[in-house]
Amino acid sequence: MFDGSTTPTPTPTSTPTPTPTPSPGDLKLANPGPQTCKFNQPCTIQLTATGGKPALHYTTTALPYGLTIDPNTGRITGKPWSNGTTQINATATDTTHTTATTTFPLTVNWF
């Protein structure tokens, strides 16, 4: 009870800190490591990118004949019709035209 002989001390209250909106982060394309497929047999390789601003678009260079990439998912599929090892250059691009690249070896064996 307040009797007038003391001055009440106000209780401090904390001010809420606003939560920052997370940014998408830097676009990164994971390297899938060395890949192996068999000649004229079904082959699937999944490229995975993180960060950036969706939607992402995937491209590759030097895919062996018979393999294609889905530009929306980064999934490489098909039946390769050449044997040997090829260096695959893969790129992911976001809607701000930021790119991330990686290179990995793909070996196609006869059997």
Residue 41 has pLDDT above 80, yes or no: yes
Q: The CATH number of the domain where 55 resides is what? A: 2.60.40.10
Residue 39 lies in a domain: yes
Residue 19 lies in a domain: no
Residue 39 has pLDDT above 90, yes or no: yes
Residue 11 lies in a domain: no
Enter the pTM of the model. Answer: 0.78
Residue 83 banded pLDDT, cuts 50, 70, 90: very high
Position with higher pLDDT, 11 vs 63: 63
Residue found under tokens 């250059």: 89
Model pLDDT, residue 3: 59
pLDDT in tens, 7-35: 556 665 666 655 554 456 999 999 999 99
Residue 84 lies in a domain: yes
* Structural domains of the chain, count: 1
Residue 76 lies in a domain: yes
| Mean pLDDT for the stretch of residues 53-79 | 98
Domain of 44? 28-109
Residue 68 lies in a domain: yes
Residue 43 lies in a domain: yes
Residue 64 lies in a domain: yes
Q: How far apart are CA 53 and CA 100, in angstroms?
A: 12
